[in-house]
A and B are shown apart, each in its own frame.
Chain A
């Protein structure tokens, strides 16, 4: 059931009877941040700490001929210089990736992308470590680079991974989903078939805090403490145990405050491993923090999909089928962070929000001489690419049929009564009411008025565009049986302890990078137990103090860990019932629950609050048989299905006909993330994602020249929206709870990043319709828009 009004699930807000739980409250983490008292990795200073710096390759593809570290070692402040050969001796030269490949920690044989790690200097201070990089002499034998993914499978293409025995080409995988024969049959008999190639260029999450680590190996105890910018501390601990051979109980990963993640901080980068090696080698703590160019050139990029889309429909506009083939550029190592069985992530949800007869997708992944990565930038495991494909294709179809793009979508949505809805590529959507969200978005935008305004402006030669997109997200992986990362099932744990005085601590397996977990997770417990959020402490980001779980990415914190927290609170509530029964000398089944207390049915004056019960549990109350003397519980939550948030976005742009400059004048975003915990935080997540969308659609791209030089290696080259390029966002929402999630929540972190780029590009293409433009690829920079206006639209790669 969909509710379209403010806070349907939020009886707490402003209601004197329920002053706690869900609702707009200030964030518990903010007092430290506004005082400059956040504690990030680079703020950590340990006694005797050294500083590491990485020498990186200046070229994209080259044999390593020789490396001479003599002069660097002679620097008075240099303590150690580590090369690939040193790592070979330690069996650490290559590390497993999250995608069953290996990645060089330091180059031993061949450079495979510009910016690749070649040597690691450890010195007494940050400046000396950088100075010493200049003193290392490296000789390279430069090889022809492979930059264009379209040429990766040519017979004469250089073989990038020639260290793998028997490898003669650059193919990583071929993967497909859906019924090809059925899809082809629908296409063969359809009234209308349109195709469009579209490129989702390589972009970068570029969190404000770059990646870094402080490694502290205690040679006496054998224990490694690693402070790391990671979104997945527990998964990292297990992987470090496997990579470095350190027993898992001797590894403690601490992820302190993180200055933004967006998927950039999921993988294990060579820098982290090198900090560990540096600490082991020197016997002192070692800090490594990359600079901005290192972040942009070597850590996990996003997208880089070349997609051939085709859509089949009746002449009346009933969409029948979709098919696509994708060429996926994974860079020099397959290091995407995604579930093991999904080499293209969740791209197969490219059927979007529409009720189709058939669909088929195939994806070919290839190596190129570029940095590895691929799943990042709030992409929900490549739902971003999938949504872009389908939402552009629907617009291409609308143009072909001369139909309004909003009307075409309304005509083809999956209907509310069809949920749970099994799509043609194996997903079962949990709940949705797409038409309601679309109509609300159109109402907020004043859609009809906008179209009238556009018509008037076109008469005058002004270029105004209105873009529509509708997305269905798929987030909250597991279930464990379907989704794992290097064998670790995608579940999450939560532990809850209620102290004797009724205050509580919750320990989470997920880690916040700004999402406000310390607030929202306390609100979930508050709603379930009646303990005010300010009386609940949230512990996260330290593997020695928290239960195991897979971490925060793919919008999975609320769908998975949020469920774990709700369930662990309910477990405590049930235990409290047993103890309250003993305290009130009544049978538990005669008790009734209300906001924070159990009372005797029919006698509300006879009751015990959670605080009284907690004191009883830890005190001298004679406990029922089998009940431990505490008010604690723990849960590991294995989701029965993913959750499927959705939203309807409308973007209004003005294009300067003289310069091709695009101005986003308005952006209306209606989101449905199921039950809403803190509307302020949800709104913030949406705003951030919309800004990502403006960045990708209009300015962000990591390009390479023919020699393999990265052209997006600094913030002077890789442009990110400032306050001047984005409008004052207009948001609205509907609420369609997830039927299987304990509190009905679906997750919101990546919705706007996923949903907004097609709305913006659709708006730009709409604006350029008078020029006959039917498609242009991102980024819609003035030069590229101008070229499109002259009939010279070109893909960026």
Chain B
């Protein structure tokens, strides 16, 4: 069957089997491998993308169901060469380790901040509660989203995609207010 949808602002049209899952369509037909797959049961959320601005688990959405809708993946988070504040926040606050759940977490965070620009920690936890991270223990993800909330225009970081990370080293070298490590 033929389907059309908007992905990261671009109209795409493809011939697919009706049974193809959205996650496989995004990854294997469109080649956008930033969306990951982690379980078959809608539990882990590593496949989360935004459909018309709402987080959906793309492993339980047929590509055909997304036809006519607006899909946004991690590849569409940065705009005009500038990182989304959420992306910057995850780097600032160590919101990721292995990086596998990160795209889904960031997209959920983006959807949350669009609705609620200044969420409390518990609202952030509630928002990501359908997603699993095995590395971070979630506290740094909460801090990352709060960093994004506090920097709606982003920080100093330009999108230097190929660059090494330590631009803004001065900031990174300082403890942040949320750093709970304690001096005795």
A residues within 8 Å of B by Cβ?
4-6, 12-14, 19, 23-40, 42-43, 45, 126-127, 205-210, 257-260, 262, 291-293, 440, 443-444, 513-516, 519, 532-535, 679-681, 683-684, 686-692, 714-716, 720, 722-724, 726, 728-734
- Tell me whether A35 and B78 are in contact (CB under 8 A): yes
Contact residue among A31, A260, A732 (Cβ-Cβ distance under 8 Å from B181): A732
- Tell me whether B33 and A688 are in contact (CB under 8 A): no
- Tell me whether B75 and A35 are in contact (CB under 8 A): yes
Contact of A4 with B38 at beta-carbon distance under 8 Å, contacts A514-B135, A720-B132 already known? no
- Besides A24-B175, A691-B137, 9 more A-B contacts (Cβ < 8 Å) are A25-B173, A34-B91, A42-B36, A514-B98, A516-B97, A534-B166, A688-B134, A726-B139, A733-B181
List the 3 shortest-distance A-B pairs measured between CB atoms, nearest first.
A36-B34, A514-B98, A687-B137
Inter-chain contacts of B34 with A (CB < 8 A): 35-38
Question: Which residue of chain B is the closest to A33 with respect to CB atoms?
Answer: B99
Inter-chain contacts of B106 with A (CB < 8 A): 34
Contact of A34 with B83 at beta-carbon distance under 8 Å, contacts A259-B100, A723-B142 already known? yes
- Tell me whether A209 and B36 are in contact (CB under 8 A): yes
> Could you tell me the distance between the alpha carbons of A535 and B166 in the complex, rounded to whole angstroms?
10
- Tell me whether A731 and B180 are in contact (CB under 8 A): yes
- Tell me whether A513 and B90 are in contact (CB under 8 A): no
> Could you tell me the distance between the alpha carbons of A692 and B137 in the complex, rounded to whole angstroms?
8
How far apart are A690's CB and chain B's nearest CB, in angstroms? 6
Determine if B41 is an interface residue (Cβ-Cβ < 8 Å).
Answer: yes
Determine if B125 is an interface residue (Cβ-Cβ < 8 Å).
Answer: yes
> Could you tell me the distance between the alpha carbons of A674 and B29 in the complex, rounded to whole angstroms?
48
Inter-chain contacts of B130 with A (CB < 8 A): 722
- Tell me whether B173 and A723 are in contact (CB under 8 A): no
- Tell me whether A26 and B165 are in contact (CB under 8 A): yes
How far apart are B31's CB and chain A's nearest CB, in angstroms? 8
Determine if B15 is an interface residue (Cβ-Cβ < 8 Å).
Answer: no
- Tell me whether B129 and A729 are in contact (CB under 8 A): no
> Could you tell me the distance between the alpha carbons of A206 and B46 in the complex, rounded to whole angstroms?
13
- Tell me whether B182 and A34 are in contact (CB under 8 A): no
Determine if B17 is an interface residue (Cβ-Cβ < 8 Å).
Answer: yes
What are 13 sample pairs from A and B whose C-beta atoms fall under 8 A apart? A14-B174, A25-B165, A26-B172, A30-B96, A35-B34, A38-B100, A40-B36, A126-B28, A259-B99, A514-B98, A516-B97, A688-B97, A715-B39
How far apart are A119's CB and chain B's nearest CB, in angstroms? 21
Inter-chain contacts of A45 with B (CB < 8 A): 31
Inter-chain contacts of A686 with B (CB < 8 A): 137
Contact of A31 with B41 at beta-carbon distance under 8 Å, contacts A40-B100, A687-B137, A728-B180 already known? no
- Tell me whether A684 and B94 are in contact (CB under 8 A): yes
How far apart are B126's CB and chain A's nearest CB, in angstroms? 7
- Tell me whether A28 and B166 are in contact (CB under 8 A): yes
Inter-chain contacts of B27 with A (CB < 8 A): 42-43
- Tell me whether A292 and B98 are in contact (CB under 8 A): no
B residues within 8 Å of A by Cβ?
17, 19-20, 24, 27-28, 31-41, 43-44, 46, 73-75, 77-78, 83, 87-88, 90-92, 94, 96-103, 106, 121, 124-126, 128-142, 160-161, 163-166, 168-169, 172-175, 179-184
How far apart are B132's CB and chain A's nearest CB, in angstroms? 5
Question: Which residue of chain A is the closest to B143 with respect to CB atoms?
Answer: A728
Question: Which residue of chain A is the closest to B24 with respect to CB atoms?
Answer: A126
Inter-chain contacts of A714 with B (CB < 8 A): 39-41, 43
> Could you tell me the distance between the alpha carbons of A291 and B37 in the complex, rounded to whole angstroms?
9
- Tell me whether B17 and A731 are in contact (CB under 8 A): no
Contact residue among B17, B41, B128, B182 (Cβ-Cβ distance under 8 Å from A715): B41
Inter-chain contacts of B35 with A (CB < 8 A): 36
Contact residue among A33, A206, A291, A729 (Cβ-Cβ distance under 8 Å from B102): A33
> Could you tell me the distance between the alpha carbons of A723 and B100 in the complex, rounded to whole angstroms?
16
- Tell me whether A729 and B166 are in contact (CB under 8 A): no
> Could you tell me the distance between the alpha carbons of A688 and B34 in the complex, rounded to whole angstroms?
22
How far apart are B10's CB and chain A's nearest CB, in angstroms? 15
Question: Which residue of chain A is the closest to B19 with respect to CB atoms?
Answer: A127
> Could you tell me the distance between the alpha carbons of A14 and B19 in the complex, rounded to whole angstroms?
55
Inter-chain contacts of B73 with A (CB < 8 A): 36
- Tell me whether B90 and A681 are in contact (CB under 8 A): no
Contact of A680 with B165 at beta-carbon distance under 8 Å, contacts A40-B100, A688-B136 already known? no
Contact residue among B43, B99, B137, B182 (Cβ-Cβ distance under 8 Å from A29): B99
How far apart are B21's CB and chain A's nearest CB, in angstroms? 9
Question: Which residue of chain B is the closest to A686 with respect to CB atoms?
Answer: B137
How far apart are A497's CB and chain B's nearest CB, in angstroms? 17
- Tell me whether B98 and A208 are in contact (CB under 8 A): yes
- Tell me whether B137 and A690 are in contact (CB under 8 A): yes
Inter-chain contacts of A440 with B (CB < 8 A): 184
Inter-chain contacts of B20 with A (CB < 8 A): 127
Inter-chain contacts of B100 with A (CB < 8 A): 38, 40, 207-209, 259-260
Inter-chain contacts of A679 with B (CB < 8 A): 181
How far apart are A584's CB and chain B's nearest CB, in angstroms? 31
- Tell me whether A684 and B36 are in contact (CB under 8 A): no
How far apart are B133's CB and chain A's nearest CB, in angstroms? 7
How far apart are A405's CB and chain B's nearest CB, in angstroms? 22
How far apart are B157's CB and chain A's nearest CB, in angstroms? 9
Inter-chain contacts of A728 with B (CB < 8 A): 121, 139, 142, 180
Contact of A683 with B74 at beta-carbon distance under 8 Å, contacts A28-B164, A257-B99 already known? no
> Could you tell me the distance between the alpha carbons of A730 and B179 in the complex, rounded to whole angstroms?
9
Question: Which residue of chain B is the closest to A667 with respect to CB atoms?
Answer: B137
Inter-chain contacts of B174 with A (CB < 8 A): 14, 24
Inter-chain contacts of B142 with A (CB < 8 A): 723, 728
Contact of A208 with B44 at beta-carbon distance under 8 Å, contacts A4-B184, A723-B125 already known? yes
- Tell me whether A687 and B165 are in contact (CB under 8 A): no
How far apart are B40's CB and chain A's nearest CB, in angstroms? 6
> Could you tell me the distance between the alpha carbons of A6 and B184 in the complex, rounded to whole angstroms?
8
Question: Which residue of chain B is the closest to A533 with respect to CB atoms?
Answer: B166
Contact of A513 with B98 at beta-carbon distance under 8 Å, contacts A40-B36, A688-B135, A720-B134 already known? yes
- Tell me whether A258 and B40 are in contact (CB under 8 A): no
Contact of A292 with B39 at beta-carbon distance under 8 Å, contacts A33-B102, A259-B99, A260-B98 already known? yes
Inter-chain contacts of A260 with B (CB < 8 A): 97-98, 100, 134-135
